[in-house]
Amino acid sequence: MRTTYREAVREAIREAMRADSRVFLMGEDVGRYGGAFGVSLGLLEEFGPDRIRDTPLSESAFTGAGIGAAIGGMRPIVEIMTVNFSLLALDQIMNNAATLRHMSNGQIGVPLVIRMTTGAGRQLAAQHSHSLEGWYSHIPGLRILAPATVADARGMLAPALADPDPVLIFEHGSLYNTEGELPESIPTCDISSAAIGRTGTDVTVITYGGTMPAVISAADELATLGISAEVVDLRVLRPLNDATIMQSVRKTHRAVVVDEGWRSGSLSAEVSARITEQAFFDLDAPVMRVCTEEVPIPYAKHLEEAALPRPERIVRTARELVGR
């Protein structure tokens, strides 16, 4: 069955709501409008306003309501329009959802799923385009997911809802229209490990989410140059699956980390540090990184493209690394 990333997310929500009456969706414009990115189109008509709940424009308020509902036994899916606006709910996410199990000595869990759109590439300017997944990956008590494929977009929600602790799912806005194949019977999805997106022998390219298409394109170009790139899709940003990363690096002896976040203090820095700590003597060259330029994401299309990790930058970095 061929479907889009957007439709895969919608079907995952629909299936979860049919399977469990405790599941409901809440957020800005998720009801009559069908979601800012069209993910929830048709769900209000099927499930009604009690389970598809439009909220006021207050991320702190409706995220807090979702936390309370989760503590009370419901299984809320909170949709935050873009990752930039999630900072308005950061107190709720970090100081409440992520800490309550610890601060209650295990008595209070928060089985909450928060979905949000992340990333650039759509000319929505700085307030709608940043990639802040690395910030959230810094916080203990959260599980951070970044589905890059249609299969993961379809399969990650169910195990996220089954998790007894809060799960944040970052959906890159540039992926919603992408298409992929899904089996008729959706397999159980793993939300604890990375995946090999492409096998190779010369260099490991590590990425996640919306940069996956750029990395695959770069791997195709590298293949024409006689360089075999293995692509690691992190998928789960917290907790990171070190074993898959190290297994690949020990095979290729070189690593490039591609991250749409800014370079300083980024997730790419964490991945690079872990490789250095755990596989230093397997490396034939330093770990290299391709990240977004350290500027607010520009509105102008040519400047936005120049700021992001494009395939040509990835190819150039990998060629330099293999040339060493």
Would you name the residues annotated as active-site residues?
59, 128
Q: How far apart are the first and last CA of the chain?
A: 44
Measured CA to CA, the distance from residue 237 to residue 257 in angstroms comes to 13
β-bridge partners, 292: 262
CB within 8 Å of 58: residues ≥ 6 apart: 88
Q: DSSP letters along 100-150, please?
A: HHHHTTTS-----EEEEEE--SSS--GGG----HHHHTTSTT-EEE---SH
In the chain, the amino acid numbered 47 is F
Measured CA to CA, the distance from residue 51 to residue 67 in angstroms comes to 16
Other beta carbons within 10 Å of 32: 11
CB within 8 Å of 65: residues ≥ 6 apart: 26, 55
Extract the runs of DSSP E, i.e. beta strands, from 146-238: 167-172, 179-181, 195-198, 203-207, 229-233, 236-238
71-110 residues labelled b (16+ CB within 10 A) or e (exposed): beebbbbbbbbbbbbbeebbebbbebbbbbbeeeeeeeeb
